[in-house]
Amino acid sequence: MSAALSIGAIVAVVVITAIIGIWGLRISRTTSDFFVASRTVRPVWNASAISGEYLSAGTFLGLSGLVLLSGSDAFWFPIGYAAGYLLVLMLVAAPLRRSGAYTIPDFIHARLDSLIARRLTSALVLIIGWLYIVPQLHGASLALTVVADIPPWVGATTVALVVGGSVAAGGMRSITFVQAFLFWLKFAALAVPAIFFVITLSGVEPEIDPALVFPPDLGPAGLDPYATTSLLIGLLLGTVGLPHVLVRFYTSPTGSSARWTTVGVIVLISAFYIASSTIGLVARIAAPDLATPGVADTVALQLPSRLVPGPVGDLLTALVIAGALAAFLGTSSGLVVSLSSAVSQDLFHGTVSSFRWAAVICTLVPLAVALATAPQGLVTSVGTVFVFAASSLSPVILLGIWWRRLTARGAIAGMIVGAGLCAASLIASTVIGSSAGVPSTILAQPGIWTISAATLTSVIVSLADGRTPVSTDRILSRLHSPERSRGEIPAGG
């Protein structure tokens, strides 16, 4: 019964996503529709869409799993993901919208007037995007295996097919509607069960010992200042460097609406994280037996049948699996849109046809990686991508917006140093493991020093180089001036 309901929920989500995608296809007619939804998306829709693609398997399934496994330290992940948008709001949202560029490589090219910097940015965007899609596909495999005993490759392949197909068909305009729908589905799929769980648990006599379920050493009192600070800085700045986050601001009509959109995103993702954190707390009370790596990420799927037996529990499980699928689809399709934009503009001629081919390529590569590798902890895998983005792209994007003396050589050096150090540190951390004490922590949470190294490198090389692009004043003027004072028609870009 439960398996049939879950499969029904999966089919329903896929069919509704396809219908909305096809409906979007009917109104996606121009190249601008495909890449930036013709810059006409209103803040409420755009905020729902941004939240829809931002909230991934990492926080939908992974957060409750990590709370169960390692305690309240897991809450730093959603705090960092949400606070990252505060950074986006204050430093990036309006200037990037005003830049008029289609993708991050477009922005870097326009700002630094360097084809090499553009190519390097495109390569990093691709790496970050692919690394981010892999945990989504792993999550899909895990979820479908748990609820319906389906072989792991079916889940990953289904998500990849739906994502590749819908992006190739409708581009950004159709994806915007799809994402907005997926956000509300994801939110309902955690909030409704969370309410049921809290009501159920508050109605029974507590048989738990809080000191065992919520031990102080796994709570806020056991905080490691270095690891927490480094992780938070990585997550905050990582949001700035994610390709699918930035491309969304290009779809806002004006810089000011891009800011209000970001405020909306912070409200929506906060509400989602509150629901997700509640599931994590409930998991510690109701499912301590699932606290083993690899199994813990399935706790959100298993709680409904444990706490609410009978048909209602089955329905809640179906709702959670529908939400989980929405999480995999939302994030993956957002990433594939931004990667396809970058690839089609760089390798082809930026046409609709090349966008479609790029969408297929950008889906197949991570699918191959996902099928060839085993799933790790979902929330930490996603966190690692954030730290890599924060080390490689974020310093250059921030300096490009706020520091007029940045040069192409400085940016290239910063990107290489940040990406190289971060990758080397994470690989070394995997090899050494967690037994080496302080060095293990420093290597496992490298954000604080890799981001600093990338920023310093960019600054020092730029100052030594001194060849600021001739267009710097013109570009910065465009980035920081309100639309009206430039005499620009807001929606024209």
Interaction site with other proteins (CB under 8 A): 72, 75, 79, 82-83, 85-87, 89-91, 94, 198, 201-202, 206, 208, 210, 213-214, 216, 219-221, 223, 228, 256, 259-260, 262-263, 266-267, 270, 273-274, 277-278, 280-281, 285, 402, 470-471, 473-478, 480-482, 484-486
Residue 467 vs 480, nearer CB to other proteins: 480
- For the CB of residue 402, give the shortest distance to other proteins in the complex, in Å: 6
- For the CB of residue 339, give the shortest distance to other proteins in the complex, in Å: 28
Give the H/E segment covering residue 99: helix 93-99
> Do 139 and 378 meet the contact criterion of CB atoms below 8 Å apart?
yes
The whole-angstrom separation of Cα 111 and Cα 108 is 5
Helix axes 115-148, 311-347, angle to 10 degrees: 160
- For the CB of residue 431, give the shortest distance to other proteins in the complex, in Å: 31
What is the DSSP annotation of 9-36? Answer: HHHHHHHHHHHHHHHHHHH--SHHHHHH
Residue 79 vs 368, nearer CB to other proteins: 79
Residue 2 vs 70, nearer CB to other proteins: 70
Among 93, 51, 44, smallest CA distance to 330 is for 51
Helix axes 299-307, 255-286, angle to 10 degrees: 60
The whole-angstrom separation of Cα 15 and Cα 6 is 14
- Exposed/middle/buried for residue 357 (C-beta within 10 Å: 0-12, 13-18, 19+): middle
- For the CB of residue 18, give the shortest distance to other proteins in the complex, in Å: 34
- For the CB of residue 100, give the shortest distance to other proteins in the complex, in Å: 9
What b-and-e string marks burial along 64-73, b requiring 16 or more CB atoms within 10 Å of the CB? bbbbbbbbbb
The whole-angstrom separation of Cα 386 and Cα 72 is 20
Q: Which two tokens stand for residue 203?
A: 């109605």
Residue 44 vs 436, nearer CB to other proteins: 44
The whole-angstrom separation of Cα 110 and Cα 120 is 14
> Do 299 and 290 meet the contact criterion of CB atoms below 8 Å apart?
yes
- For the CB of residue 202, give the shortest distance to other proteins in the complex, in Å: 6
- For the CB of residue 224, give the shortest distance to other proteins in the complex, in Å: 10
Residue 152 vs 493, nearer CB to other proteins: 493
Among 451, 384, 442, smallest CA distance to 417 is for 451
Give the H/E segment covering residue 178: helix 152-202
Q: Which two tokens stand for residue 387?
A: 């730290």
Residue 99 vs 363, nearer CB to other proteins: 99
- For the CB of residue 411, give the shortest distance to other proteins in the complex, in Å: 19
Q: Which residue has the tokens 């983005």?
A: 389
> Do 336 and 134 meet the contact criterion of CB atoms below 8 Å apart?
no
Residue 203 vs 310, nearer CB to other proteins: 203
Residue 87 vs 415, nearer CB to other proteins: 87
Backbone angles phi, psi at 467, to 5 degrees: -90, 70
- For the CB of residue 173, give the shortest distance to other proteins in the complex, in Å: 26
- For the CB of residue 334, give the shortest distance to other proteins in the complex, in Å: 21
Residue 228 vs 376, nearer CB to other proteins: 228
DSSP state letter for 262? H
Residue 35 vs 75, nearer CB to other proteins: 75
